[in-house]
Amino acid sequence: MIRVGSVGLGAISTNVHVPGIQASKDLTLAAICDIDAEVLAEKAEKYGIPKDHCFTDYKELIDCPDVDAVDISVPNNIHAEIAEYAARAGKPYALEKPVAMNEDEALHLYEVTRDCGVRNMVCFSYRFKPAARYAKALIESGAIGRIYHVNMQYFQAWGLPIMDTGLRWRFVKSITGSGALGDLACHAMDLVTFVTGEKYTKVCGHLGTFVHERRLLTGEGTGKVDVDDFSNILAETESGASFSFEITRFAYTRGNYQRLEIYGEKGAIIYHLDREEPGVNELEYADESTGRKFVKMDIPEEYYGDQMQSFADIVNGCGDGLPATMADGAASQRLMDAVIRSAELGTWVDVRGYTEV
């Protein structure tokens, strides 16, 4: 069993990481860490972790001799610092996205991890959706031929004024780095690369903020939002294809909605997430054999995967190569910085070679 220490015990840890660790035949949750002592105490009781394996300082968790691998789900500003500490301690890590606050930090972490020879995974979690994996396999088989266009929508609603969301860390640049861009667009651009195999050569970004002040979570007053609420992106790829991304936290009624349309020379594929039910992914396909009409595909069992089991496989040296690693995480961060530059300059920005980290 790989003994995992989890750092950051908030939403994604509670809903995805810890259940994944508990469900894995190869992983066991050995230690936990959160700077919030109340959260730590609550999770210690829930997960049955003894007091001497509960920490408020991530260094103590990583140094704990009963921790073999580190699972990191903290806010973005401390991703790189914690992952670097794990790498230097020779402990494999699973790290949430975006991997860092900017390109320099991401490339530094990539290099340290590589030089320490530490196994790693970056949690681009939509790579585990069966519909995405099946779409990737169909494209690799040549089913739809050369790709001309991709459009990906990634929509959430919680930024809308009617949702009355306070000034969470996701709206504060010094903690989050960027807004919808690093939160959602990084998933979308990674998923599209993963599914299509296409490499971006230039990007053009349009970022914006609708609500500039939000109520403080402490109760009184408001604070400034200094990141993007939406991030729309145009991208060209090495094959000359034209891709577009529509990314927002201001899409009425949308929970975690994704729609990815891929149009090739002899067929087309549509991947959906949350079209009807939260968490449900679906695939539609059209080519000559379907009479050029979209039909819903049954997704074969072999395309089902699980993020935390994949981390166990990576640590055990038997991964399938499909999850993202720090090379992908650093490439993604470079791309996000290029989109910000593009939006600031109001021009296209060259990103050739960015995926070759």
**Backbone φ, ψ for residue 233 (5° rounding):** -135, 135
Q: What order do you get walking across the sheet with 230-237 strand by strand?
A: 295-296, 281-287, 267-273, 257-264, 147-155, 242-248, 230-237, 200-208, 349-350
Q: 134 with 228: CB under 8 angstroms? A: no
- From the list 3, 42, 63, 78, which residue makes contact with ligand NAD (rule: CB under 6 A)? 78
Between 181 and 203, CB nearer to ligand NAD: 181
Contact between 311 and ligand NAD per CB under 6 A: no
Q: Report, in Å, the least distance between residue 13 CB and ligand NAD.
A: 6
Q: Report, in Å, the least distance between residue 147 CB and ligand NAD.
A: 25
How far is Cα 293 from Cα 299, in angstroms, rounded to an integer?
18
Q: Give the burial class of 108: count Cβ atoms within 10 A of its Cβ; 0-12 exposed, 13-18 middle, 19 or more buried.
A: middle
* Span from 71-79, 217-225, 233-241, 311-319 in contact with ligand NAD (CB under 6 A): 71-79
Helix, strand, coil shares of the chain as percentages rounded to 5?
40, 25, 35
- From the list 49, 123, 314, 330, which residue makes contact with ligand NAD (rule: CB under 6 A)? 123
Contact between 7 and ligand NAD per CB under 6 A: yes
Contact between 120 and ligand NAD per CB under 6 A: no
Contact between 2 and ligand NAD per CB under 6 A: no
Number of residues that bind ligand NAD (CB under 6 A): 23
Between 78 and 234, CB nearer to ligand NAD: 78
* Span from 1-9, 83-91, 212-220, 333-341 in contact with ligand NAD (CB under 6 A): 1-9
CA 324-7-113 angle, to 5 degrees, is 45
H helices of 9-67, in order, are: 11-12, 18-23, 37-47, 58-63
Contact between 103 and ligand NAD per CB under 6 A: no
Contact between 313 and ligand NAD per CB under 6 A: no
How far is Cα 296 from Cα 283, in angstroms, rounded to an integer?
6
H helices of the chain, in order, are: 11-12, 18-23, 37-47, 58-63, 79-88, 103-116, 130-140, 173-176, 180, 186-196, 307-315, 326-345
Could you tell me which residues are beta bridge partners of residue 271? 260, 283
Contact between 137 and ligand NAD per CB under 6 A: no
Q: Alpha-carbon dihedral of residues 340, 345, 351, 357, nearest 10 degrees?
A: -40
* Span from 70-78, 153-161, 272-280, 291-299 in contact with ligand NAD (CB under 6 A): 70-78
Pairing of strands 27-33, 54-55: parallel
Between 37 and 345, CB nearer to ligand NAD: 37
* Span from 44-52, 73-81, 240-248, 268-276 in contact with ligand NAD (CB under 6 A): 73-81
Contact between 36 and ligand NAD per CB under 6 A: yes
Maximum distance among all alpha carbons in the chain? Answer: 64
How far is Cα 71 from Cα 149, in angstroms, rounded to an integer?
36
| Cis peptide bond upstream of 98, omega within 30 | yes
Contact pattern from residue 43 through residue 62 relative to ligand NAD, giving x for each residue in contact according to CB under 6 A and a dash for the rest = ---------------x----
Contact between 76 and ligand NAD per CB under 6 A: yes
Contact between 9 and ligand NAD per CB under 6 A: yes
| Residue number, nearest CB to ligand NAD | 10
Contact between 175 and ligand NAD per CB under 6 A: no
- From the list 4, 5, 6, 8, which residue makes contact with ligand NAD (rule: CB under 6 A)? 8
Q: Report, in Å, the least distance between residue 338 CB and ligand NAD.
A: 19
Instruction: Summarize as ranges the residues that interact with ligand NAD (CB under 6 A).
Output: 7-13, 33-36, 39, 58, 73-76, 78, 96-97, 123, 125, 183
